[in-house]
Structure 1
Amino acid sequence: MLIYIKQWQQKVKPQPGANPIVVLFSWLVFGMLLLLGLAVGLVLLLFGWILLLPLMWRKRRQMKQMWQFTKATREAQKQAQARYRSEREYQQNRQDSDVIEGEYQVKNDKR
């Protein structure tokens, strides 16, 4: 790792016979490119956040609709169970009312 660091230091260090104006200009250009890249990145990040808002709103609306649908189906299921229970109780009560309890006598029918 130390070898790579020394190689980069040698590449970055200006040559002994280099024109100082060219070195200064190259550092300024390098800094401007860094700032430009940072600005482009921030613009893209902001654009992404702006595009994320309608997507989040749509997903929230879908979740709300799904919740309402689930709530409605649970309510319908409870009503169906209650209706089934009441019909079953009615059938049992009706069958019970058909039965006549008590004593009876058989008459001899002479026809």
Structure 2
Amino acid sequence: MLIYIRQMQSKIKPQPGANPLAVILGWLLFGALLLLGLFLGLVFLLVGWILLLPVMWRKRRQLKQMWQFSKATRQAQQQARRQAQNAYQQRQNRQDDSVIEGEYEVKRDDSQS
């Protein structure tokens, strides 16, 4: 690892006979490219956030519709359950009312004898 670090340092250090103007220009160009990359990254981030707003709004609207649909479904199920209970109770009441209590006697038909 130490050998790798020394090799990188030797590549980064300017040559002893290098033109100082070329070294300064190289560092300025390197810094300008870093700033350009940072600027482009921030622009892409900002555009992404701006484009994310309609997507979030659409998803929020879909979730709200699903919530309203599930709420309406629950209410319909509760209402159907209540109606079924009422119908069952009414059938029970009708069955109780339809029973005739009393005695009966079977009459013989005289024509068959």
Compute the TM-score of the two structures, normalised by the length of structure 1.
0.91
What is the root-mean-square deviation in Å for CA atoms of aligned residues? Answer: 1.7
Alignment of 1:20 onto 2:20: yes
How many equivalent pairs are there? Answer: 110
Letter in 2 for 1:83: Q
Regions of 4+ moved over 6 Å: 107-111
Report % sequence identity: 62
Superposed CA offset, 1:22-48 (max 9, x none): 000000000000000000000000000
Aligned to 1:31: 31
Q: Secondary structure at the match of 2:5?
A: helix
Structure 1 residues 19, 108: closer, same or farther in 2, change over 3 A?
closer
5+ unaligned residues in a row in structure 2: which ranges? none
Structure 1 residues 98, 6: closer, same or farther in 2, change over 3 A?
same
Q: How far apart are 1:106 and its partner, in Å?
A: 3.7
5+ unaligned residues in a row in structure 1: which ranges? none
Compute the TM-score of the two structures, normalised by the length of structure 2.
0.90
Alignment of 1:104 onto 2:98: no
Distance 1:99 1:12 in 2: 107
Structure 1 residues 12, 107: closer, same or farther in 2, change over 3 A?
closer
